[in-house]
Amino acid sequence: MSFFRKLLPLFVLLAFTTVLAQNAAQDTTCGAFVQQAMSQVESGCGETRRNQACYGYVSLEATPREGVTTLQFTRQGDLANVADLSSVQLDPLDTEADTWGIVLMKLQASLPETLPGQNVTFLLFGDVEIRNAVDSEADPTLQPMQAFYFSTGITQTNCAAAPADGVLIQTPDGVGKVHMRANGVDIQLGSTAFLRAQPEENLIMDVLEGESSVRSDGKTVVVPDGAEIEIPIDEDLQAVGEPGEPYAYDLEFLEDLPIEILPEEFEIDEPASDEELEEAFFESEELDILDDEIDAALEDEVLPEDEQFQDEAPANDTGAEPQGDLPPDDSGGGDSGGGE
């Protein structure tokens, strides 16, 4: 019996060493798969133009906007006008099945027509669903997918080298901040950010470099580089409350993001310091007051003439709804562009 007791630690050590070796081999295989997939996206989507989406890697399912009958978006390298898409559902990473949904988009967003070569880049990967929330008839100033609803999965894989499911967004250098709306949250982005969202939980945004601000439920918050912010959303993915205060993000969680696919080279910033977060807090207070004034002015401006004078309006008339709110539907719209 004592002989077997002496051998037991050896057996445990041997088993532990075997597991470590298997995990190391698995990580190597997984890491190679991730790199191969991203390399194919980089080479296969090089011709993507403004307001186009590229089928980067298998597999995913695209739903055309109502009335669109010519959508061809079923294999790697396929290009589609973003305005023709109602929604896109990507599959989570599965190394055994050799599947991992990846889509690359080049969007105009709020960039002027005079900058045809400048685009906002969206890179979606993993268990992500995105719906185009732009209605060109309701608001012709919005470009395709400038407003959208999205959700990301919480799928856990055994691939340590794979990034979390989500959406990388990068604005072009030198054009200032670009406006977009995600899940009802107004975002001013002049940088690179990583977005995730789960129904009945939060929309989470990490600012990897540069600076951003978000506005929800009448409150504006500045988010410095190196910080993360959360906004509560309901089961329909619609924002239902004010943004929380930004806080330093977990750099280790973000280190595997495929930022090499993005057009502007950069390094993910270190987590924000207390001083940077405090400075952003005071900036938020100033910007929040300014945004409140702008919202009030716009609300007065869009009211019909006969409703701007209460003595001429019916007693029970509460006035027109402020324009610009986007319903959470999947109607597409806008000029699909075609230039770079």
Q: How many domains does the chain have?
A: 1
- 322 belongs to a structural domain: no
- 117 belongs to a structural domain: yes
Mean predicted confidence (pLDDT) in 304-323: 40
Domain that holds residue 16: 2-307
- 13 belongs to a structural domain: yes
Q: How many CA atoms lie within 13 A of 293 on its CB side?
A: 6
Instruction: Decide: 297 and 101 in contact? Cβ < 8 Å.
Output: no
Q: Provide the token pair at 29.
A: 């295989």
- 232 belongs to a structural domain: yes
pLDDT digits (tens, 9 = 90+) for 120-171: 999 999 999 999 999 888 888 999 999 999 999 986 677 888 999 999 999 9
pLDDT digits (tens, 9 = 90+) for 54-77: 999 999 999 999 999 999 999 999
Q: Does pLDDT of 22 surpass 60?
A: no
Instruction: Decide: 106 and 134 in contact? Cβ < 8 Å.
Output: no
The CATH number of whichever domain residue 158 belongs to comes to: 2.60.120.1440
- 335 belongs to a structural domain: no
- 196 belongs to a structural domain: yes
Instruction: Decide: 337 and 145 in contact? Cβ < 8 Å.
Output: no
pLDDT the model gives residue 4? 54
- 93 belongs to a structural domain: yes
- 225 belongs to a structural domain: yes
Q: Does pLDDT of 42 surpass 50?
A: yes
pLDDT digits (tens, 9 = 90+) for 94-103: 988 999 999 9
